Amino acid sequence: LAGLSRSVGLSIHTQLKAMTYAALADLQDRAGDLQTSLHHLQILDKTARALASARADLEPVLRERRRRVVALLDDPRCTSCASVLGRAQRLELGADYGKVPSVEKVLKALAGVPRSDFAEMIRQGNGTFNSIPELAVERMAQVIQDLRDEMARMTEKVQSIADSFPLPDYTRPVSEALVKAEDRSQPYLREVERFEHYRWIAGTVLCSIVLLILACNVTGMALGAYGLSKREDPSDYECRGEAGAKFLLIGVGLAFLFSWLLILLVFATFLVGGNIQTLVCRNWVNQEIYKFIDTPGNLPPSMNLTRQLNLRRDSNLSATYRECKSGAGLWEVLQLDRSYNLDEHLKTPKYTADFQKRLGDFTAHLGDVRLLRSEGRQDLETFARSGVDEVDYRRFQEEMKNPVVQTSLPGLARSLEGLQKMQRNGTVAGRLAAEAQALWQMQNSTVQSQEALVAKLGESIQFLSRLAPHLQERVKRTLATTASVEAQLPVQAQQIFRQEIGCFTRKELRYFAQYLNWVGQTLREDVASCQPLATALDNGRVILCDRIADPWNAFWFSLGCCTFFLIPNIIFAVRLTKHFRPIRNRLM
């Protein structure tokens, strides 16, 4: 949204700049034609008048000069002058610019033109067109802010899905059942702690009895063996042997006294621990216990876990455990889509309708560019009607083909100078030199200036004759192109604006649809994962089997092994007693 307005303005500018710049360039060319044509027309009128005036001034002077030269060359004293006499007789004016068409009518039609400043007008039109991106930013500022507010409301709508999400309806019974079970177990936990204290006392006493029996046997055997090794000393032998025999008999007495208690205890602990290991733990590990729970009739109706866990009717605890173990969410496990249509709540139009409507209803006039004002249009129309193209410029070109003077004054002057060298008569020679000098002076002072005016006139005639055949067509085309561009700019700018807004809308809707799809996928797969349920069941198995049942079974197995060896211990102790007592005691 931050770059939408400038992007729209740049797109309009980029797509319309070729047409607009071409129209401005064409308008600039016509303005140049008008200025240049007016300049050349003024030169044409001024130069033609000057040439006509100069011709009128030159004509009597040239006529008098021809008369004098002809008279001189016709003088009999002039030697070899007949060859130049014909050229002198043809000494007369050539081009007559008084006969060319007048452009005064055209200049009167163009009087006061141009009334408008075309350069400023083109600069303003170009500046207005180039400011379209900034104009788009300015005119779209409010709608951009409205769209930001609309996006914030759309975000709130999406976040409000959590309030209507039905997951607590399914997890609440389980949570309540767990809380209730925890509350009910609290009184028993104190009893468990008390019985745990008794268990440690009983275990310690039983182990102490076994250790006492073992200590008596070991002490008796040690003393008896020591007494046997001291047979050489009868007094020491009898004392040690008697003590060893008494310790063995004490061990036998203790074994007889407590063996029945140990046997009952081993049987009781074996009965509990063995059944738990066989019936519960082993089936829990291979998940047969879940199948047992799922089988109808194996548990009372009050312990129907499928109903208490709010599972779907076609599901069971085994399948639920496997799905949760694999990381499935409660949405998939409980199949909440049957009771809560998440796709309906995540439909894109539900959230983007106002966004689309606001963009669809927004309009901005960004192509109102004035390329040619009415004064400039009138100047071009006046230029086209002025008659510039109706002037017969061929008459000027034909007249320009004629020299200012029919006979070349420099050539005639050089001929007179050549004749002057051939004369024997000094007077004739002097007159020839004077006439040649006069011709050179006329050429340099008058004819050359007129020839310069003719060259200047030729430049104007060349430009105007080249422009005239295409003037009407070019002016009409420029006026039509300018009017067409001025008319098309707002329309095409609006079309491009609608296209850019539509493209932006479609792109944003795709983004939002992807976002809503991500929301749906997250709610279905990632939110409220039931993997902790499977973990809790596994932790329960670890606590019951690994932390309670296995130590329990290890305890009765160890105690059972000790109890089993008490019988051989009694027989062995009685037999040893006979060997450890002195012979006199055994004979009594």
Same domain, 38 and 111: yes
Same domain, 487 and 399: yes
Residues 404 and 454 sit within 8 Å (Cβ to Cβ): yes
User: With bands split at pLDDT 50, 70 and 90, how would you rate the model's confidence at 367?
Assistant: low
Q: DSSP state, 470?
A: G
Which stretch of DSSP H or E encloses residue 392? Answer: none
- Composition of the chain by helix, strand, coil, percent to 5: 80, 0, 15
The pLDDT of residue 280 is 81
The answer to the question of residue 304 being in a domain is no
C-alpha 467/C-alpha 30 separation (Å) is 11
Contact present, 16 and 493 (Cβ < 8 Å): yes
Is residue 353 situated within a structural domain? no
% of the chain surpassing 90 pLDDT: 3
Among 216, 58, 205, CA closest to 573: 216
Residue 106 zone, left/alpha/beta (φ > 0; ψ -120 to 50; rest): alpha
Residue among 134, 118, 122, 98 nearest 24 (CA): 122
- Give the span between the Cα atoms of 411 and 403, in whole angstroms: 14
Average of pLDDT values for 242-259? 75
The answer to whether residue 536 is domain-embedded is yes
Mean pLDDT of the chain: 79
What average pLDDT score do residues 155-173 get? Answer: 68
Residues 171 and 275 in one domain: yes
Q: Which of 452, 486, 502 is the last residue of a domain?
A: 502
Distances (CA, A) of 488 to 363, 411, 481: 17, 67, 10
Residue 367 · residue 17 · CB < 8 Å? no
The verdict on 413 and 480 lying in the same domain is yes
Tell me the mean pLDDT in the region 279-300: 75
Shared domain check, 563 and 470: no
Question: Rounded to 10 degrees, what is the CA torsion of 52, 58, 62, 63?
Answer: 70
pLDDT at 305: 62
Instruction: Tell me the average pLDDT across 150-160.
Output: 77
Q: Residues 122, 183: one domain? A: no
**Stretch 451-462: mean pLDDT:** 89
Half-sphere exposure of 334 (CA within 13 A, CB side): 24
Number of DSSP helices (H) and strands (E) in the chain, helices first: 26, 0
Mean pLDDT of 267-283: 81
Look up residue 163 and give its two tokens: 């309030």
**In this structure, what is the dihedral angle of CA atoms 524, 528, 533, 539, given to the nearest 10 degrees?**
120
Instruction: Choose one of 502, 517, 542: the last residue of a domain.
Output: 502
| pLDDT recorded at residue 587 | 37
Closest CA to 34 of 369, 385, 374: 385
Are 75 and 492 contacting, i.e. CB atoms less than 8 angstroms apart?
no
Count of domains observed in the chain: 2
Answer left, alpha or beta for residue 335, where phi above 0 means left and psi between -120 and 50 means alpha.
Answer: left
Whole-number Å distance between alpha carbons of 281 and 180 = 25
Could you check whether the bond before residue 114 is cis, i.e. omega within 30 degrees of 0? yes
DSSP H or E stretch at residue 510: helix 471-521
Q: Output the pLDDT for position 26.
A: 92
d(C-alpha 468, C-alpha 560), whole Å: 131
H or E stretch covering 375? helix 374-385
> What's the burial of 12, exposed, middle or buried (CB within 10 Å: 0-12/13-18/19+)?
buried
For residues 60 and 126, membership in a common domain is answered with yes
Say if residue 129's pLDDT is above 70: yes
Residue closest to 251 by CA, chosen among 276, 225, 215: 215
Spatial distance between the Cα atoms of 302 and 320, rounded to a whole number of angstroms: 20
C-alpha–C-alpha distance, residues 294 and 91, integer Å = 139
567 with 492, same domain? Answer: no
What does the chain come to in residues? 588
Average pLDDT over residues 103-112: 86
Is the residue at 264 inside a domain? yes
Element (H, E) at 430: helix 426-442
Q: Which residue has the tokens 């960004």?
A: 366
Sign of CA dihedral 126, 131, 136, 142: negative
Q: Check residue 586 and give its pLDDT.
A: 42
Residue 148 tokens, joined: 């930001």
DSSP 303: G
The string of pLDDT tens digits covering residues 46-57 is: 998 898 888 888
Query: Would residue 331 count as lying in a domain?
Result: no
d(CA 140, CA 69): 90
Check: CB of residue 525 under 8 Å from CB of residue 164: no
The three-class DSSP label of residue 534 is helix
Q: For position 355, what pLDDT does the model report?
A: 75
pLDDT tens figures, 373-423: 888 888 888 888 888 888 888 888 888 888 888 888 888 888 888 888 888
- pLDDT tens per residue across span 464-497: 889 888 888 988 999 899 989 888 888 888 888 8
Together in a domain, 415 and 535: no
436 and 536 share one domain = no
37 and 72 fall within a common domain: yes
pLDDT of 303-351, one tens digit each? 666 666 666 566 677 777 777 777 767 666 666 666 666 777 777 777 7
3-class secondary structure, 96: coil
pLDDT tens, position by position, 201-249: 877 887 787 788 788 877 877 777 766 666 555 555 567 667 777 777 7
Q: Are 555 and 202 in contact (CB under 8 A)?
A: no
Task: Give the pLDDT of residue 366.
Answer: 67
* Residue 567, in any domain of the structure: yes
The DSSP output letter for 106 is: H
Does residue 76 belong to any structural domain of this protein? yes
Note the pTM of the prediction, 2 decimals: 0.61
Assigned token pair, 347: 């439909």
515 falls within a domain = no
Question: What percent of the chain is predicted at pLDDT more than 70?
Answer: 84
Q: Are residues 498 and 383 both part of a single domain?
A: yes
DSSP calls for 143-178: HHHHHHHHHHHHHHHHHTHHHH--HHHHHHHHHHHH
| Burial of residue 86, with CB atoms counted within 10 A of its CB: 0-12 exposed, 13-18 middle, 19 or more buried | exposed
Range of the structural domain that residue 175 is part of: 167-286+529-580
Looking at 74-103, list the stretches that DSSP marks H as alpha helix, in order from N- to C-terminal side.
82-89
Name the phi and psi angles at 272, rounded to 5.
Answer: -75, -55
Cα radius of gyration rounded to whole Å, the chain: 65
Task: State residue 584's pLDDT score.
Answer: 40
Q: Where are the beta strands (DSSP E) in 292-398?
A: none
